[in-house]
Amino acid sequence: MPTSKGSVNPVVIIVVLAIAAIGGYFFLSQKGSLPSPSLPSTSTLTPRATEKDFESITEDPTLRKHFAAQANKTDYRYKGTSPGSGLTTVNEVQIKGESVNSKEIESDGSKEKKHLIILGDTTYLKDYSDNKWWKQTIKPEEIPDEEGAEEPKDFKEEYSQPDLQYKSLGKEDCGSHASGLTCFKYEQIFPDSPETKRFFWFDDKDYLLRKDQAGFGEFIATIEYSYDNINITTPSPTKDVPEGRSIYEYSLGSDTMTPPSPTENQIPEIPTDLNMGEQNTEEPLDY
């Protein structure tokens, strides 16, 4: 069984894997070394990762090929459905140089409920009342620390620390979303948390992730991945978010504002010195 050295809480690792495996944002971010998807494989640009970076994954060259291929993928799409809400979310990511563009579409099966596009520092949110896009540009230095995104994790560092164990489960069809492809199927083993499960499939052609199932008990999430026809562009027509407001305050599907969350000064103070048992000091009536 392939392993790597080190140890870490397996519940944390499964979250890291489910996110990191899709590439891009959580992979290496060496300046000037991001390969362009339009360039041929003979490009002289330095790849962000090679199989040697995952040499701690012992005894399984196929798995190392997968990690290296995934780490160098700059454009990808992943789709997941929430069984509880019935909502399907499709996310796309496109990395160009040091810029990360993304798109998120949420639907309930019959209609689109949310459409969010982020191009660099500019965010667009579709208003379904007039089919225009709210637009707001926010520089990183303008985002409060508590609202800023977490620092991207270094892919090689994540895989060199945990005590990862994998079990090869052979090959099978990748599924209808990856028609015509055959996948290697693997299970990730969590010795310290046997109730935690993760199965993942990557194709035998490009070694790219095609499906991932992770979770425990009834909380098993399935995510499907694809890499074709990803082109995130500026939407139109647009309208600017009023100054002093955040684009995320807007209610989806209308042009009204969601009431802002109360600040600390707006929240009424609840008295702490009231003794509810002493409010009525009269003796009970004798019936």
Per-residue pLDDT reduced to its tens digit, 88-103: 999 999 988 778 899 9
- Position 154 confidence tier, pLDDT thresholds 50, 70, 90: low
- Position 4 confidence tier, pLDDT thresholds 50, 70, 90: low
Residue boundaries of the structural domains of the chain: 10-163
Q: Give pTM, 2 decimals.
A: 0.68
Q: What is the mean pLDDT of residues 162-180?
A: 88
Whether residue 127 is predicted with pLDDT greater than 90 in this model: the reply is yes
Across the beta sheet with 132-137, what order do the strands follow?
Answer: 165-173, 182-189, 196-203, 209-216, 219-226, 75-81, 88-96, 99-107, 112-119, 122-127, 132-137, 238-240
Query: Tell me: the pLDDT tens digits for 197-239?
Result: 899 999 999 999 999 998 887 778 889 999 999 999 999 999 9
Q: Provide, rounded to the nearest whole percent, the portion of the chain with pLDDT above 90.
A: 38
191, 165 in Cβ contact below 8 A? yes
Q: What's the confidence (pLDDT) of residue 251? A: 54
- pLDDT-wise least confident of 79-93, 98-112, 179-193, 235-249: 79-93
- Cα–Cα distance measured from residue 12 to residue 16, given in angstroms and rounded to the nearest whole number: 6
Instruction: Looking at 42-104, list the stretches that DSSP marks H as alpha helix, in order from N- to C-terminal side.
Output: 61-71
**Mean model confidence pLDDT for the chain:** 73
Q: What is the mean pLDDT of residues 117-136?
A: 94
